[in-house]
Structure 1
Amino acid sequence: MTFASLWLVVILLINVISVGAAQEKKGSTSKLRTIPKRMHFQVRSQCKLFKTWKMKQLCNQVASDPNIVKMGRKVRAFVKNNDEKRFSKRMRKLSSNARALTIPTPPVDGFTMPSISRTLSSNTGFQCTKSCPSYSSLLSGKTPIQRSFSPWESCAHYDPLRFPQWLKLGFCSCKGCINPETKNEDMSFVSEPITVNITVLKRKPGVSFSECKNPNVGCEKALLEVTLGCTCVLPKGT
């Protein structure tokens, strides 16, 4: 074999090795792309506290929900009961003058969803301070939300049977809409919530999230319908 032939064989071997390495790298890159680019940092930090791989995967699905990611720092999730109780106790002290509102909660098979009282509850409810705004406050509003004829608020909502326990949810501030002519709330129109489903985990009473090992045994993934904003519409049947 001449030197030129030997050199050609070496070049061919190098090309084969390079192609194989490139394909392996491409395969590993495709696997990495299955991991969501954006995840809620605090929720994700709690996922490692679940005891089984299945529960950790469900937790990662919650952390990667885009609507939960957008809620930012208002979202707080806890696997350990003691951590959740300490944080919630501090939050209730900060919102001692708040009011709680009722929201429709979709049924979840196998779970009893706690009702939200119209009076401030130490267990569940919205932690909000504002009610239906006046027309003058709309005129001074700096954002489209604050100037809307169907205004809404976004504030903290707490549910101990849910993961994350604390979410940033919206609610319509008025039952009707602000009429620009009368400058008062007009009950001939309706403030209709704009909703979306988010991914959460639910647990049965008496079972802590730290005890959950298998889905559907005490804990379960669920879709929760939440309000992102409100729009002014005519009442049904008109």
Structure 2
Amino acid sequence: MRRRGVGGVAAINKSKLAKAKFAEKGTEIAETQVSQMSQQLEEFRTKLSDFAAKHRNEIRKNPQFRNHFQQMCARIGVDPLASSKGFWAELLNVGDFYYELGVQVIEVCMATRPRNGGIIPLEELRVRLTKAHGKTREDVTVDDLSRAIKKLSTLGNGFKVIAVGSQRLVQSVPVELSMDNTAVLQSAMDTGYASIKTLCDEFQWPTDRARRSLEQLIKEGMVWIDSQNASEDLYWFPGLFNNEK
């Protein structure tokens, strides 16, 4: 076996030493960059805090301004609604704003549930809430409502915003909608009702699948059945009626 010369060993040791120095320098640079980024982020949060304190009233009263502020917070990982007793809530009172709004959302949903079965369009909810509370809620947006409802999710799965096609609905009944249930909702968005035949034609479902999904929605109180139609039973979603007046 050929022995490796002293020069070869020295070269290997030199290479290892160089790699170690490069690794050490790389770690040093990375730590410096992280430190600088952390410092910049902290400075930005401080400036955001000063900005929030200066524009506190406008954030609460101007929905567009409030939305922009929420977006700024999201970019740096700050949640003004993380706690009703937290720093941001105390600084802005936005925590109280959204928690109070959440209570009013519950009131409207509970009052309308006997008529709509626990499904109400987000825009209709906004209109009803504005009418019920007048000027104190005239600047509330659907984005504000979505944020308030998201906070209500801590109560369980009874309140949530669901997307059906291009429209957003508020669900206020503690039931998990299946994909079939959501498909039935989407089918009924334009007319307010669905039927076994329309579901079978639209989704290529067998009859028992369409019937099973509709019966589940009837059981949860979301659908009313109309047996007086001459051709076939119609399954109406009262929550999709125009009930704003």
Question: Higher helix proportion, which one?
Answer: 2
Length-normalised TM-score, structure 2: 0.24
Structure number with the higher strand fraction is: 1
Q: Which has the larger radius of gyration?
A: 2
